[in-house]
Amino acid sequence: MSLSRHNGILNIEDCAVPALAEQFGTPLYVYSRAAIESAWRAYDQAFADRDHLICYAVKANGSLAILQLLARLGSGFDIVSGGELARVMEAGGDPGRVVFSGVGKTEAEIVQALDVGILAFNVESEAELERIAAIALRKGLEAPVSLRVNPDVDARTHPYISTGLKENKFGIDIHRAEAIYRQAAAMPGIRVTGLDFHIGSQLTELDPLADALSRSLSLVDRLGDTGIGLAHLDIGGGLGIRYEDEQPPTPADLAERLAPLLADRPQRLLMEPGRALVGEAGLLLTRVEYLKPGHRDFAIVDAAMTDLLRPALYDAWQRIENAEPVDAEPRLYDIVGPVCESADTLGRARSLALVPGALLAIHGAGAYGFVMASQYNARPRPAEVLVDGDRAHLIRERESLEALWSGERLLEMP
């Protein structure tokens, strides 16, 4: 993260955080261009000795300017909806570097992806395979597909973001995958190109991922013995970031751990990092509106679960600190928002020096922050700013009140 302090004032790259809050208002998402590009290059350099493609997971943060930065670096993209595909293309992304994941692809989304020529569909069920084949045949095309296999590996992460166990909705049981590959290879309208797995998010150890790859490579070998050769292996994403005291592995650690398994493998290697590229590149800035002492001391801020859902959804912990010095004694505060839900808590029992108007910075907000924001309680969504050195670019305007009912219609009443 490109953060520093000067005279007690928090800076992101060469921009003072309080000045950004003053200029653009709060709540405010702020991202570092340098941090995003550095994280992407760490992956690119770690796997430089083999043919690879980094497919950024758009679901982590789909802001157009961030997609644009990554597209200019040569990134591919991992999408889970037609809307994400449209965003990638609007930002200048190459559809030929896009893999389409997700368990519920609609007919319209499949048509959209075929029309623009994506790299591959990551197929998650037999029913989806049949639908893609029928649509491709109708259009006179061949759909490039890889099967997303479920290797039944415990990623040892939060159950809501675990995706590689047989009880999860994702992927095809690895024990049934060989038969489905043979079926796919014989289907008109289908061109089998690869194998994909993704076992979960916020991984802090590599053994589960290596175990999933080993199981998948055994399947690849059996397929090769039957004449089904694969052009790529997609190992998914999921490397964690540091929210509190985690020590997640680096891309270099990942490359070193997988190197013996991938030695002499001719397939192109695909990977789908999301949080690891943008998570630590972002802050959410928020101001204290009221201090409310009592059985618990509450600091009521202008950001809410509508702006940052992770704490309410996952009971997630994200570091919160003062963005500038405050003349007050530190106390333990629960940092809460104005939404009418007790779940609207951004941090519990945080030692902070606070007064009304104090500016706080919530760390690790670059991933699954704005992208999960809502308008609940009729709250306009915050602005987003991208910092590049000493320049701050407004990449999304603060939502207006009128935008809250855009597209709605009043009844024609007599």
Cα 217 to Cα 177: distance, rounded to the nearest angstrom = 12
Q: Is 90 annotated as a binding residue?
A: no
Catalytic residues: 340
Q: Is 333 annotated as a binding residue?
A: no
Q: Is 341 annotated as a binding residue?
A: yes
Q: Is 178 annotated as a binding residue?
A: no
N-terminal to C-terminal alpha carbon distance within the chain = 59
Burial label, 39 (beta-carbon count in 10 A; 0-12, 13-18, 19+): buried
Assigned token pair, 290: 């009221």
Instruction: Pick the closest to residue 50 from 344, 267, 246, 253 (CA basis).
Output: 267
Distance between alpha carbon 227 and the CA centroid of its chain, in Å? 36
- Give φ, ψ of 19 to 5 degrees: -65, -35
Number of H helices, E strands in the chain: 11, 21
The answer for 329, left when phi > 0, alpha when psi is -120 to 50, beta otherwise, is: beta
Q: Is 275 annotated as a binding residue?
A: yes
Do the beta carbons of residue 161 and residue 201 sit within 8 Å?
A: yes
Do the beta carbons of residue 82 and residue 299 sit within 8 Å?
A: no
Cα 362 to Cα 368: distance, rounded to the nearest angstrom = 13
Q: Is 324 annotated as a binding residue?
A: no
Judged by DSSP in three states, 385 sits in strand
CA distances from 411 to 237, 406, 414 (A): 47, 15, 9
Q: What is the Cα Rg of the chain in Å?
A: 23
Q: Is 310 annotated as a binding residue?
A: yes
Q: Is 140 annotated as a binding residue?
A: no
CA distances from 148 to 195, 240, 273, 283 (A): 6, 21, 16, 33
Residues 79, 81, 82, 87, Cα dihedral to 10°: -50
Q: Is 409 annotated as a binding residue?
A: no
Assigned token pair, 398: 């603060």
Assigned token pair, 362: 């919530």
Q: Which residues of 176-206 are buried (b: 16+ CB within 10 A; e: fewer)?
A: ebbebbeebeebebbebbbbbbbbbbbbbbb
**Residue set of the binding site:** 238, 272-275, 310, 314, 341, 368
**Residue set of the binding site for substrate:** 275, 310, 314, 341, 368
**Residue set of the binding site for pyridoxal 5'-phosphate:** 238, 272-275, 368
